[in-house]
Structure 1
Amino acid sequence: MTTHPAPMVIGYDGSPGSVSALDWAVATAGRAMAPLRIVEAFELVITTRPSPGHVVPLEAVRTARRQRLDELAAKLRLEHPDLNVETSLIGGAAAKTLVEAAQDARLVILGSRGLGGWSGLLIGSVAVQVTTHATCPVVVVPHDYQPQTQVEPTVVVGVDGSKYSARAIDFAFDQAESLHARVVAVHAWTSPYLTYRDGESMLEFDEDTVREEAQLLVAESVAGAAADHPDVPWASDLPTGSAGHALVRHSESADLVVVGTRGHGGFTGLLLGSVGQNVLHHTHCPIAVVH
């Protein structure tokens, strides 16, 4: 029985953000030899306010968008004859539409800014909904992203010892192998390691012990993926302070940052609290969120 490779799904609306995401998606799908499914959400908005000027009939808007998608697909097929390109214009809310369209996908790609159905992706609930409910990794591409031109591409992954971090590490090494890149495993710590000395109540902070244990955690976390990808070089970084700030700093020179949806330690609540918002708003390169 012939099996078809799972597609990569991109949310597209013609905005600069979605165009940057499309460029990234085309390159990634090409390397993986995977189909590319371009999805646009078409949400009907009903208003009781008078609309200034001429009102375009709904079906005319739908036809124009369908034609735009068809022209885009034809252009991509011409430029990338080996790439299998599919398009879908789906009625409904943006997050629900994309999550449903990606049920059989290997990856979902989004731009960090959008128009229409993808508007407010990173400042409202849509990003949280997609990253929470999508059954595959989600990549968010900054709207002004320009691919790095460095000699050695870099994939950065947040490590905290959780099962979600383990999945992120596997994904990071897969992407690094595809990109012929190295992996930098980042483990940030903010709380001192507390020990009792001679049974006294005095607590002391042993920074060397903290670093040794952090290095051991990273080494044990990465060991399996490194063994499966022996040609991918990797290094660790053990910064103190905010995990979000560490990832944003690395994103300035990275090709991809990878995190898990949940975690503990420095990466707790990465997608649900202020750390996740900081990374999503300020990352300089694409960020992959792995379930």
Structure 2
Amino acid sequence: MGEIVVGVDLSDAGVAALRWAAAQARVTGASLRGIHVLKLPDAFALAGLVGAAVETPVESINAGYRQALTAVWQSVDPDDSWSLEYVVDDPRGVLAEASKQASLIVVGTGSSSGLERLISGSVSHYILNHSHCPVVAVPAG
């Protein structure tokens, strides 16, 4: 198996997805590429300012938030060949684009609800419908 891509965030479902993807990478010998997408403010998206993803220097992310993400990533004891990227854009587009070169994409599911889902849509639902490779949607817990 080539590369597994996993959406990484601090939600319970995001952590579960990372754990599942890490276990799958170990079993199959695949490399693992974690992507944390810093969502553009809705005002930018509504104004049509969504464009190509911008890789974000880790240092520009709030220190406490960065430490929490690093702790989640480190909790799966990442292999030296695995990577964690930070990108600013719409998570749906970034992960769908990453699926073009992946053997498998893993996303957490069920972490957005109500108004948030109505406005921005479910990332996992979008990926299930727009991925270029097989998808595993992992629920929290």
Report if TM-score (shorter chain) is over 0.5.
yes
Q: What is the alpha-carbon distance in structure 2 between the residues aligned to residue 85 and residue 45 of structure 1?
A: 29
Structure with more relative contact order (C-alpha pairs < 8 Å, separation 6 or more): 2
Q: Does 1:114 align with 2:108?
A: no
Aligned to 1:34: 30
Residue identity matched to 2:23:
A
Q: State which of 90, 100, 110 in structure 1 corresponds to 2:97.
A: 100
Cα deviations across residues 28-82 of structure 1 (Å, max 9, x unaligned)? 11100111111111122156xxxxxxxxxxx987243444444444443xx355x
Which one has a larger percent strand, Structure 1 or Structure 2?
2
Cα deviations across residues 138-192 of structure 1 (Å, max 9, x unaligned)? 1111212xxxxxxxxxxxxxxxxxxxxxxxxxxxxxxxxxxxxxxxxxxxxxxxx
Question: TM-score, normalization: structure 2?
Answer: 0.69
Q: What is the alpha-carbon distance in structure 2 between the residues aligned to residue 73 and residue 128 of structure 1?
A: 24
* Largest Rg, 1 or 2: 1
Aligned to 2:21: 25
Aligned to 1:9: 5
Question: Aligned to 1:135, what secondary structure does the other structure show?
Answer: coil
Aligned to 1:175: none
CA distance 1:61–1:14, change in 2 (3 Å)? farther
Unaligned runs of 5+ in 2: 44-56
Aligned to 2:61: 62
**Is the contact between residue 9 and residue 39 of structure 1 (CA under 8 Å) also seen in structure 2?**
yes
Question: TM-score, normalization: structure 1?
Answer: 0.36
Shift of 1:19: 1.1
RMSD of Structure 2 on Structure 1 (CA):
3.0
CA distance 1:120–1:74, change in 2 (3 Å)? same
Shift of 1:103: 1.9
Q: What is the alpha-carbon distance in structure 2 between the residues aligned to residue 120 and residue 61 of structure 1?
A: 27
Moved over 2 A (4+): 59-76, 123-129
Q: What is the alpha-carbon distance in structure 2 between the residues aligned to residue 125 and residue 26 of structure 1?
A: 23
Q: What is the alpha-carbon distance in structure 2 between the residues aligned to residue 139 and residue 36 of structure 1?
A: 14
Q: What is the alpha-carbon distance in structure 2 between the residues aligned to residue 109 and residue 97 of structure 1?
A: 13
Q: What is the alpha-carbon distance in structure 1 between the residues aligned to residue 93 and residue 132 of structure 2?
A: 13
